[in-house]
Amino acid sequence: MKTHVFALIAIISIITACQTTGVDEQKNEQEKIRTVILTDMTHDDGNSLIRYLYYASEFDLEALIITNQLPDFNHDDTGPWQKGMSILDAYQRELPQLRKHDPDLPAYEDLLAVTKQGRGALPIIWLTNTLEFSNKIADRYVTSSWDSVYFHDWIGEGLTPHGEPKDSDGSEFLVEVFEKDDERPIYVQAWGGTITFVQALHRYRQKHGDEKFQALLPKIHLFGILFQDISFEYFASFEKMKNETCAGFGTARPTYGEEPVELGKVLYDNGHFWHYVWNSDPNWKKPLASKDVNGHGPMSNIYDNGGEGDTPAFLYILSSVFGLNDYNDPTQGSWGSMFKPMGSSFPDKYYSTCEPVQEGLERADPDASVDMDQNELVRWVPDATNSFKNRLLWSVKEPGEVNREPVAVLNGDESNKILNIIAKPGEVITLDASGSFDPDNDELTFNWFRYKTADNFAGEFEIIDPTNPLQQISVPQDFSNANIHLVLEVRDSGEPKLVTYRRVIVESE
């Protein structure tokens, strides 16, 4: 009898937990993603790190590597490291309050243990051979100069031109990350300082041999906010990038002289990220100013007006947590923009925000503006901004006083997974989101739309009643060898308003 009673209590407990912690269940549905952040802690990196830390429980941070980069900081400048430490110290002071809202946020000690210094202050790519810089960067006026830069002076054996070892705590720690017995992919966010990452790959290859090195490469996926410095030649052809993409390399010249290796995936954003930093358009408005962020605890008070140019590197993954996209497919579009294959000259899983060049042609003007529509980043900025503004309230309010994301339930499934449907022409598909709910009992609104730039169906398709949670979708009669992407937005009425998504991909039989 006791066994039956205990079983009944257990069942009731499970049901109650499902009713009260639906958001947590949805969040934990997705396996945490192994992440490496490479940062130079320039004018906008600190703001991006602050924002990242509010979502740190969504990632498995393997390493945070801080590497000085010219012209912002010379090789012996302590500013980048001190800035990183000040943000982590502020996080430590806030953590007890933040954990009231999310107990899974990582411990300060754990973050500190994976934060390491890199080496190799190289100029940002487009300034490589100007040999000097004198101008304003954010709120600082910077004057800097350097000698000619050659790949093998900084990567490999011996000392750098500064007389320092090319290895660093950061590169040696990354080798340890690569050596872990963990089959999950490693998503590397290149905010800056890719030179430390490349030196680590060089050392791993030297230490373990080419067979193990080739086995490692498919696990490494790189999101490049630009390619930062000349070390990118290790994994992408300089000439092909310059001639066949929108990469603007300015005065840089190729110096590697060897065939690049092939990473598992490369996402190259040459310009969309600028929306988070600066734009010459008089109608442009920065998504967040310091006045919007300051006053929400120690971290927020470090946030300045330098922008958040590196934030899209993790927004790309973060929006998958909220159901918008599959981070394994960058062509789907995400909070971090939409990517397209670089073209036949590059590995299959190399993507960019550039408009691909037609096969067999070269760009007449490699420096011309040929980015794809920046709206594929900008369209999601209000939702991403509201999410961060809401997280900032964790620092100053108690649970129950802060809005929580609604739970989008699609055909009885409340996970963040994409629904893939194989359909025939003329078939009617039922999509039912009426079971969606809000943990704060806020009123919900629904919006269905076709994400046309993400799919490849050339015909006409229309959602008649997009605000109805229940949809009867008629597959077009001319639907063949194609797919249609549908996105559902479930938005609450809280302050700020939060949204959860579900994506449906209808594919022809």
DSSP states of 399-441? TTSS----B--BTTB-SS--EEEEE-TT-EEEEE-TT-B-TT-
pLDDT tens digits along 227-248:
999 999 999 999 999 988 888 8
Residue 356: per-residue pLDDT: 59
Residue 422 lies in a domain: yes
Residues 358 and 414 in one domain: no
Of 352, 502, 314, 337, which Cα lies nearest the Cα of 416? 502
pLDDT tops 80 at residue 17: no
What is the pLDDT averaged over residues 75-80?
Answer: 96
Residue 2 lies in a domain: no
Residue 336 lies in a domain: yes
pLDDT tops 60 at residue 10: no
Residues 372 and 486 in one domain: no
Residue 138: per-residue pLDDT: 78
Domain with 435 in it: 405-508
Of 152, 234, 154, 164, which Cα lies nearest the Cα of 201? 234
Cβ within 8 Å of residue 157, ≥6 positions away? 166
Domain total for the chain?
2
Residue 331 lies in a domain: yes
Residues 419 and 318 in one domain: no
Residues 89 and 149 in one domain: yes
Residues 225 and 315 in one domain: yes
pLDDT tops 90 at residue 4: no
The chain-wide mean pLDDT, for the chain, equals 91
Residues 291 and 174 in one domain: yes
Q: Which residue matches tokens 């966010």?
A: 189
Name the 3-class secondary structure at 472. strand
- Whole-structure pTM value: 0.91
Residues 204 and 248 in one domain: yes
Cβ atoms of residues 442 and 493 within 8 Å: yes
Residue 29: per-residue pLDDT: 53
pLDDT tens digits along 359-379:
444 443 444 444 568 999 999
Residues 82 and 103 in one domain: yes
**Range name among 9-13, 48-52, 137-141, 475-479 with the lowest pLDDT average:** 9-13
Residue 40 lies in a domain: yes
pLDDT tops 90 at residue 488: yes
Residue 22 lies in a domain: no
Residue 360: per-residue pLDDT: 45
Residues 446 and 341 in one domain: no
User: CA-to-CA distance for 244 and 192, rounded, in angstroms?
Assistant: 23
Cβ within 8 Å of residue 268, ≥6 positions away? 224, 227, 236, 245, 247, 339, 342, 350, 351, 352, 353, 354
What Å distances lie between residue 5 and 13, 14, 281, CA to CA?
Answer: 12, 14, 67
Residues 340 and 461 in one domain: no
pLDDT tens digits along 20-34:
333 344 444 568 999
With the CA atoms of 62, 64, 65 and 70 taken in that order, what torsion angle do they form, in degrees rounded to the nearest 10? 150
* Stated length of the chain: 509
pLDDT tens digits along 309-336:
999 999 999 999 999 999 999 999 999 9
Residues 429 and 299 in one domain: no
What is the pLDDT averaged over residues 165-192?
Answer: 97
